[in-house]
Amino acid sequence: MNRPVSIVLIVGLAVAVAGCQRLGLGGSSSSPLPATPTPPVDSQPLTPLDGVQTSDGTIEQQPLDAVDGAGEQVAAAPFEPPAEAKEIGRSDLLGGWTMQSVADRCQLFMTLTTWSGGYRANTRGCGSPDLQGISAWDLTGKQVVLKNDAGATVANLYSAGGTQFSGQTSTGQPITVFR
């Protein structure tokens, strides 16, 4: 046999045997570590956040204070454009955006496909029915208007600089759209 071939075979055999030893196939192996005992969990009744617990176990709630004008419906105040609102073009709005509202964070997609009320828009992952219903957008000066299928305004936005738009929904909730 050729000397280089012999060396390669010997090295290969040594590596194979070393691999068997590494995997624990060599016969002697250490035993696994014993499990660590965990202490038992204590259970105690929780005290209520609001109200006072009486001796019989019931909870007495504190009455709510009366509010002036209770029962009156209040319309959302119109959202005034910020003084620092920047000029924007339609192409600045195209593509995917993250939309953040009070308790909702989802995706907004805007295209230049002509749609009722402006251009095509859609959302994904929104929990709010209002935000789920966004189907169109339009640009009026510095204002971006998001609309539903009926053409009603869902939100008004203004550029907050760079790739962020801030405003409010038609119900008066703050909303931000950003990349």
Give per-residue pLDDT as tens, 83-141: 777 888 898 899 999 999 987 999 999 999 998 779 999 999 999 999 999 999 999 88
pTM: 0.56
Task: Confirm or reject CATH 2.40.128.10 for domain 90-178, answering yes or no.
Answer: yes
Residue spans per domain, the chain: 90-178
Give per-residue pLDDT as tens, 42-55: 666 666 555 555 66
Q: What is the DSSP letter of 161?
A: S
- For the record, the structure tokens of 149 come out as 């299928």
The closest of 78, 83, 77 to 158, measured between CA atoms, is 83
Q: How far apart are the C-alpha atoms of 160 and 158, rounded to whole Å?
A: 6
| Weakest-pLDDT range from 14-23, 70-79, 110-119, 151-160 | 70-79
Q: How far apart are the C-alpha atoms of 7 and 12, rounded to whole Å?
A: 8
Residue with tokens 């280089």: 4
